Structure 1
């Protein structure tokens, strides 16, 4: 096993960072410190824990220019966009701070009936040590979803970040150190996959919060077999959009394009398949193709670039193969890659693509693509759209584009998904819970339910002895 983790930048293929992988002794020390610090951390008033988190947020926001440049070099998102990931970090952290007291408040069950009524209530207790295993595609946003509420709830946290975004974990550490967090309350560590599995199997933590691939989620579950450790999994997606004939078409086109191509399509809730009513199908396809051709693919450090490279060349290769297989099966490509000179085989730079004449026998419409490519199918009515949207092993979000909100709610009740968006997509609202069905994972993040997933219920029955 290599003793160094290497981060290769998709911008130019250079080595951007290298960090030593923790030894077994170092790993044991980190988790032991977290365990030792947890009880005293949990005894602090909730307001104090929240204050530490808000101070860390302020410290992170002060690093915005540095973080933005590092993020572009690490995973390839254009520099014109990377400063704004911290906007979401701020929004989510402040919202979680706002709802923490209510979310963690005891559930008062009142007095027992009878002559000697007892007071009954259920409190929320921290789980202990939360092990956060974070991905690279939205490395600050996905991490904050678990780290901040875990700490507010009285847990300690050990963060293991993706090898593609090693520096993100260090910036979280810098922020919490600047906030003056007690030793052991928040730590980051560089681990291999095998070490991550060993930490879980060895019960070094009381919960694992994992965001990543379906295969990665399965590995988490295998490691946890027999340990009874709680695992929250946010995995893959093949998120659909349905454009009804009463939609504001220009608005739908603009937003579906953004939902499909932002972050080079590397978003678990990005739009990967679109079902369009036959009455507006031709106009929608023409409009989406026109918008797609206006993207600027290039070096993401250039402020004029709107589409950067994918984070890894192997990811781009998989997207190219999915497209090629669909074309062999009869799909029609509407965007000539030659319009994008930076598109080069064997590199992470790949042109955006729109395919029609696709079907659900193609992997392109059923397997996660996770790249800047989208397929469009014509449908006759709402019922056909619902059937196709539900024909997936995933279920994170879906979006409906219509002016009839009553119809949207009726359709939404038929959809098997974690979130229904109407006239919006590729978005996460911290007031709503982030969850999914089937291979998208299990558990919930954000909202009061996110706090519940990071705590355990404890029942209380208080009765005076009879006189």
Structure 2
């Protein structure tokens, strides 16, 4: 049994009210740990501690090179503890071991190394001004206290790609993980302390939605970085408007996949299936709407359904598992409700569409589901399902495919399958998405920005864009007359 407390001023402490909640293994529904339920009082104490840490001489006087070494040490500690972190991620979130070991943990370490190199490269500029005898220059300065609110689908990875740039730019950070998956984030916070982060610079608050709301509303918090649902993101915008705190939002997606008539269908089937079902479809960049040229749609659909049926479903700890559990019983019911709506609205169910029983009955498992004859106005084609539900939608010409792919409130990611070089270069610029992949899976790299258009959020993460997200420009005028 894992027990997680709050981390405030580098001390592990119980919640002020003494309350705790439990987290469960989604593969069997069994309780695997407890975590402290922070109160409004705890949020006040945490923000005050973070402000003190941000303003401390130790943090303010730390050179960029020393700050870079600190981030590098955190990355090294993540790698050193790969086995433990991956096991926690799989146990608490359910993702297959091959993903937690080979994707989630390595990406977290990589992000810290990437931003360790950025600490010495946060540059300003000198601006030519028309006022006589004036020198005007700009620097980028940290915002102060940053609240980092992370989701349950990739707890460790997303915590890392928020925390690393926040620290690299000199902010103090308050981590608030999703209540469904607090364990790996708590472990990351412990590694930060072990690496030598000054007291108050990294804080951990665990608990339910009220903790996140209190962080967003707190006037002592200067920046909120949130990854999660569009509905919650909209509420954050409303709350943050009261004091105009800076916010970054990475929200939902409904990624289209355009399969051209000339595509290698076997490659497209494998790539689309992996791109749709990684982390059991619980990813904002997962491929969900498959626009397939009518001349190839029957072949694509039959091969996609057969491949989906062949995938091993099971606990993440099983090395043979490809499709793990959904995060919770509540989410399982939500996904099943979307499948029911697809049937009711006239989509044709090809395979799946039901919960997995038998020896997996206690877990939150759902069979990979393929629909065809899906119309653009159907609920399953418009709303983010966040589960293993795939919609095949035939089209007749590429103009139609582009228009229909863009007919969505979201704009996070998209993918194109073609063997034509001109199409591969010319079509992506017509797709309304923050990232367009060509003939491949949805990938994340610290050097490339990630974020979306429309209801998929505000701002970008990764690359130099995260430096901008966690700093403000400051102008200095010097009278030389």
Which range, TM-score by smaller chain? Answer: over 0.9
1:462 equivalent in structure 2? 478
- The answer to whether the aligner puts 1:66 opposite 2:84 as a matched pair is yes
Change (3 A) 1:421 1:2: farther
Distance in structure 1 (CA, Å) of the matches to 2:78 and 2:45:
26
The SS at the match of 1:165 is coil
RMSD (Å) for aligned C-alpha atoms? 2.1
1:46 matched to which residue of 2? 64
Which of 361, 379, 387 lines up with 2:377 in the alignment?
361
With normalisation by structure 1, the TM-score equals 0.94
SS in 2 for 1:7: strand
> Hey, what does 2:96 align to over in structure 1?
78
Aligned-pair CA distance for 1:149: 0.4
Give how far 1:200 is off.
Answer: 2.3
- How far did 1:442 drift? 0.7
Change in CA separation of 1:101 and 1:422 when aligned onto 2, cut-off 3 Å? farther
Runs of 4+ in 1 over 6 A off after TM superposition: 343-346
Please identify, of 116-125 and 225-234, the stretch whose mean Cα deviation from structure 2 is larger.
116-125
Check the 8 A contact 1:35/1:156 in 2, yes or no.
yes
Shift of 1:280: 2.1
Q: Deviations over 1:95-123 (max 9, x none)?
A: 23334443x211233x4468x55333221
Match of 1:98 in 2: 117
Whether the 8 Å CA contact 1:124–1:455 is kept in 2: the answer is: yes
Matching of residues 150-189 of structure 1 within 5 Å: 150-189=166-205
The answer (yes or no) to whether the contact 2:28–2:360 under 8 Å persists in 1 is no
Deviation at 1:64, TM superposition (A): 1.2
**1:174-207 Cα deviation digits (max 9, x unpaired):** 1111101111111111233223222322212100
**Pairwise mapping of residues 303-322 of structure 1 onto structure 2 (< 5 A)?**
303-322=319-338
Q: Once the 2 structures are TM-superposed, how far is the Cα of residue 395 of structure 1 from its aligned partner?
A: 0.8
* Corresponding residue number in structure 1 for 2:219: 203
Q: Distance in 2 between matches of 1:10 and 1:232?
A: 29
The residue that corresponds to 2:393 in the other structure is 377
1:441 corresponds, among 452, 457, 469, to: 457
Deviation sequence 1:339-381 (CA, Å, 0-9, x none): 9655978951110011101112211111001001110111111
Residues 296, 455 of structure 1: alpha-carbon distance in 2 compared, 3 angstrom cutoff: same
Q: TM-score, normalised by structure 2?
A: 0.91
Structure-2 change in CA distance of 1:338 and 1:315 (3 Å): closer
Shift of 1:322: 1.2
Query: Which residue of the partner structure matches residue 13 of structure 2?
Result: none
- Structure 1 residues 426-435 or 402-411, which shifts more? 402-411
Give yes or no for the alignment of 1:137 onto 2:153: yes
Q: Which runs of 5+ in 1 are unaligned?
A: none
In structure 2, how many angstroms separate the alpha carbons of the residues matched to 1:19 and 1:340?
29
CA deviation string 1:14-69 (max 9, x = no partner): 11111221233332222111101213324321111111111011112221111122
Aligned-residue offset at 1:231: 0.9
Which residue of 1 is the match for residue 34 of structure 2? 18
CA distance in 2, matches of 1:9, 1:341: 17
Q: Secondary structure at the match of 1:164?
A: coil
Provide the rounded CA distance (Å) in 2 between the counterparts of 1:32 and 1:174: 20
Summarize the alignment of residues 229-268 of structure 1 with structure 2, pairs less than 5 Å apart.
229-268=245-284
Query: SS state of the match for residue 325, structure 2?
Result: coil
> Judging changes above 3 Å, is the alpha-carbon distance between structure 1 residues 171 and 338 closer, same or farther for their aligned structure 2 residues?
closer
Match of 1:269 among 285, 297, 305: 285
| Contact kept? 2:342, 2:378, Cα under 8 Å | yes
Query: Are the equivalent residues in 1 in contact too, given 2:215–2:221 (CA < 8 A)?
Result: yes
Whole-angstrom distance in 1 between the partners of 2:218 and 2:43: 11
1:404 partnered with 2:420: yes
Q: Distance in 1 between matches of 2:88 and 2:465?
A: 33
How has the CA–CA distance of structure 1 residues 358 and 129 changed in structure 2, closer, same or farther, with 3 Å as cutoff? Answer: same
Alpha-carbon separation, structure 2, partners of 1:287 and 1:147: 41
What is the DSSP-based 3-state SS (H/G/I as helix, E as strand, rest coil) of the residue aligned with 1:163? coil
Distance 1:146 1:287 in 2: 39
Alpha-carbon distance change, 403 to 95 in structure 1, aligned in 2, over 3 angstroms: farther
For structure 2, which runs of at least 5 residues remain unmatched after alignment?
1-16
Residue 266 of structure 1, CA deviation: 0.2
Q: Distance in 2 between matches of 1:112 and 1:70?
A: 55
Following superposition, the deviation at residue 337 of structure 1 comes to 6.0
